[in-house]
């Protein structure tokens, strides 16, 4: 039996005014909110030798409110700042038990990250508004040929788009700000 492998296609853009983007979404007749803002907790798993990271893969456990998900992402490829990456995701019922199973298979937590996220739909495209410990971002997901136009429609400069994952961006942020003594995990202060 053959299954299509879903490919995530996204553009990640840092923004200085997340509320302004939210206001544009609220007044747009083409948009509707999918999920209100809520805390998202993520844990990346890997072997002691970092085999998944070395292959460009990500194994992630995620909790969003009362939803729990397991995600496997393949290596990323870029066209400019637009990222394409295979993404397989399923809903799970017990993240802690699943983490224990992975631990026994040699996959342990290597890093955690949090963000406050809300999701919107604009036609067939997804817009996520992310507040993170290092700043705010808008992720646009859908057909690559429509992402730049959507960014412009939301009055976001697509030229500011960044490559990389939140963890990679966090590591760069920590390096750029050693005076802050930031933790390895990208989490909000208690």
Residue-level pLDDT at 190: 79
Residue-level pLDDT at 29: 86
3-state secondary structure 7-68: EEEEEEEEECCHHHHHHHHHHCCCEEEEEEEEEEEEEEEECCCCHHHHCCCEEEEEEECCEE
pLDDT string in tens for the chain (190-residue length): 445 569 999 999 999 999 999 999 999 889 999 999 999 999 999 999 999 999 999 999 999 989 999 999 999 999 999 999 999 999 999 999 999 999 999 999 999 999 999 999 999 999 999 999 999 999 999 999 999 999 999 999 999 999 999 999 999 999 999 999 999 999 998 7
- Architecture of the domain made up of 7-180: Beta Barrel (2.40)
């Amino acid at each position: 039996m053959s299954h299509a492998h879903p490919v995530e296609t996204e553009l990640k853009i840092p923004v200085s005014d997340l509320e302004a983007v939210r206001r544009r979404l609220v007044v747009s007749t083409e948009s509707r909110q999918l999920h209100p803002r809520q805390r998202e907790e993520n844990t990346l798993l890997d072997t002691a030798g970092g085999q998944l990271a070395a292959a460009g893969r990500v194994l992630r456990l995620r909790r969003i409110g009362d939803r729990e998900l397991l995600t496997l992402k393949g290596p990323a490829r870029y066209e400019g700042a637009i990222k394409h990456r295979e993404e397989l995701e399923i809903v799970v019922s017990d993240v802690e038990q699943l983490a224990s199973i992975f631990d026994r298979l040699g996959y342990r937590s290597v890093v955690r990250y949090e963000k406050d996220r809300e999701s919107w739909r604009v036609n067939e495209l997804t817009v996520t508004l992310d507040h993170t410990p290092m700043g705010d971002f808008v992720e646009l997901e859908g057909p690559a040929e429509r992402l730049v136009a959507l960014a412009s429609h939301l009055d976001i400069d697509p030229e500011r788009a960044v490559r990389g994952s939140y963890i990679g961006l966090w590591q760069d942020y920590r390096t750029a700000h050693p005076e802050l003594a930031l933790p390895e995990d990208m989490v909000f202060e208690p």
